[in-house]
Amino acid sequence: MIRAPFIPSPREAIKKALELLCLRKDDVFYDLGCGNGEVVVEAAKKGATAVGIEIDPYLAEVAREKIRENHLSDRAYIIEANFFLVDLSNATAIYSYLYRSINESLAPKFEKELRIGTRIVTLDFPIPDWIPIRVERFMDSMNRVRTLFLYIIGISNPSSLTREPRIYDYKRILRITRCIQ
């Protein structure tokens, strides 16, 4: 499989992505392929438990150092691993800046492991065949058009369209849809 190289998200993208995710203190946030840990640090600053998964040992160490420098070790940490092999079932919010084909390969894992109401924001590359509930376009500081896609498990993923509705599942979805209006 193609491995996305390290290209950091622009600062504006990080800010907007975390706003779209409506992070709160009770969230468990993951950055899949966290690179230098910038996104993890910004998520932890918002009070969430923030986890970065990074396959490159050097970047994982850079990210750990960034967490220490920002005194966020009480709620942010890095897992040095292939994200395909990490259980994501405790996630409530996920960020990824990866290729479309990688998002496509991650989709079955998301469907299997993530709970109803979990939010996913991807930068520039959508999850094929999923329905974003919000698409936000903006120019970054290099005058490049960037796109953020927001997905919610239970609304966006194809299997949710054929599943029996269960009212209690939707409390979590209502909370996030109210926040992003």
Ligand X SMILES: C[S@@+](CC[C@H](N)C(=O)[O-])C[C@H]1O[C@@H](n2cnc3c(N)ncnc32)[C@H](O)[C@@H]1O
Considering only residues 21, 41, 53, 152, which one is a binding residue for ligand X as defined by CB under 6 A? 53
**Residue 158 carries which DSSP code?**
G
Which residues on adjacent β-strands are paired with residue 120?
94, 151
Distance of CA 145 to the CA centre of its chain: 20
CB of 169: closest distance to ligand X in angstroms?
29
Q: What phi and psi, each to the nearest 5 degrees, are found at residue 121? A: -115, 130
CB of 34: closest distance to ligand X in angstroms?
5
**Which residue in 79, 75, 82 sits closest to 61, CA to CA?**
79
Considering only residues 19, 45, 46, 55, which one is a binding residue for ligand X as defined by CB under 6 A? 55
Considering only residues 12, 69, 82, 175, which one is a binding residue for ligand X as defined by CB under 6 A? 82
**Which residue in 32, 43, 33 sits closest to 6, CA to CA?**
33
**Residue 85 carries which DSSP code?**
G
Q: Does 97 bind ligand X (CB under 6 A)?
A: yes
List the x/- string, 112-151, binding to ligand X by CB under 6 A: ----------------------------------------
Is 146 or 172 the residue whose CB approaches ligand X more closely? 146
Alpha-carbon span 123 to 15, nearest angstrom: 12
Considering only residues 23, 29, 30, 38, which one is a binding residue for ligand X as defined by CB under 6 A? 38
Q: Does 27 bind ligand X (CB under 6 A)?
A: no
